[in-house]
């Protein structure tokens, strides 16, 4: 049998999951299952909540009040590597893309930071959380990444746990072997923060503050200039290969 069931629809619920439990769904989720997917009573879906693993469930109730009856557990709950993705927010669709890819690549937490050259002043964290759930539903992911409220880069640097490694991507850094550089940074740290700045880059004083953090790696992503959402995918893939659960 395949490791994952990618044919059955998956739905994230905010309820305790256990065999025999009946979980009422909100209007939007019920409408999605019965009107968009055109499922009927008795049809099977996979349910998860980010805490109790994945369970097979049967649709019940009525079209106006849809519920799930929980059956057997199909997968136990897993955990994500201690990888926090810290980023200067982007506009709308590109931010949606970046959040979804960070979730697919295994980030445990997402933290928007406002830098000197950040072009987006307000961040819709509710929309970010919706994108986290959508990516998890579509990609068989069990653990839901935490979404933090935005803060300034200065606040992030003051408040962060300094036992964690910090990797910040900088187009002005010398291009070297990034996998080897990441591997050399691993020892004696409790987790890793991966920081992607705005498309205008970091200001000189911001670079100085970042370089002054302990266990810090200033990383170039090759000889080409990448857009911020592309840089996010490249950097997270490198970190997962060197540090995370890709090894």
Condensed to tens digits (0 to 9), the pLDDT of residues 80-129 reads: 999 999 999 998 899 999 999 999 999 999 999 999 988 887 899 999 99
Query: Looking at residue 51, what is its pLDDT?
Result: 96
Tell whether 176 and 71 lie within a shared domain. no
pLDDT of residue 175: 66
For position 129, which CATH number holds?
A: 3.40.1280.10
Give CA separation, 72 vs 52, 61, 194, in Å.
Answer: 12, 19, 37
CA distance 218 to 49: 36
**4 lies in a domain?**
no
Same domain as 88, residue 69: no
| Phi, psi for residue 6 in degrees, rounded to 5 | -95, 0
State which residues form the domain around 113: 83-242
Assess if residue 3 is contained within a domain: no
Asked whether the predicted pLDDT for residue 1 surpasses 60, the reply is no
Q: What is the tally of structural domains in the chain?
A: 2
Answer whether 0.85 is exceeded by the pTM: yes
User: Tens digits of per-residue pLDDT, 235-244?
Assistant: 999 999 888 8
Whether residues 63 and 125 fall in one domain = no
**pLDDT reading at 2 higher than 60:** no
**CATH number for 29:** 2.40.240.20
pLDDT of residue 173: 78
């Amino acid at each position: 049998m395949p490791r994952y069931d990618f044919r059955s629809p998956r739905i994230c619920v905010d309820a305790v999951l256990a065999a025999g439990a009946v979980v009422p769904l909100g209007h939007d989720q019920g409408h999605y299952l019965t009107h968009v997917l055109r499922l009927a009573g008795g049809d099977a879906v996979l349910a998860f909540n980010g805490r109790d693993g994945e369970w097979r469930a049967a649709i019940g109730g009525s079209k106006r009040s849809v519920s799930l009856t929980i059956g057997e557990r199909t997968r136990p709950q897993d955990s994500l590597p201690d990888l926090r993705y810290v980023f200067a927010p982007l506009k709308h669709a590109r931010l949606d893309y970046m959040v979804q890819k960070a979730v697919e690549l295994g980030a445990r937490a997402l933290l928007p930071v406002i830098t000197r050259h950040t072009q987006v002043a307000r961040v819709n964290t509710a929309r970010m959380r919706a994108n986290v759930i959508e990516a998890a539903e579509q990609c068989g992911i069990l653990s839901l990444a935490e979404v933090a409220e935005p803060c300034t880069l200065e606040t992030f640097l003051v408040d962060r746990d300094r036992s964690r490694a910090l990797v910040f991507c900088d187009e002005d850094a010398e291009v070297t072997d990034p996998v080897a550089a990441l591997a050399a940074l691993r020892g004696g740290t409790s987790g890793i923060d991966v920081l992607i700045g705005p498309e205008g880059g970091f200001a000189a004083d911001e670079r100085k503050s970042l370089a002054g953090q302990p266990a810090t790696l200033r990383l170039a992503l090759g000889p080409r200039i990448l857009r911020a959402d592309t840089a996010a995918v490249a950097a997270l893939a490198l970190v997962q290969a060197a540090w995370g659960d890709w090894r």
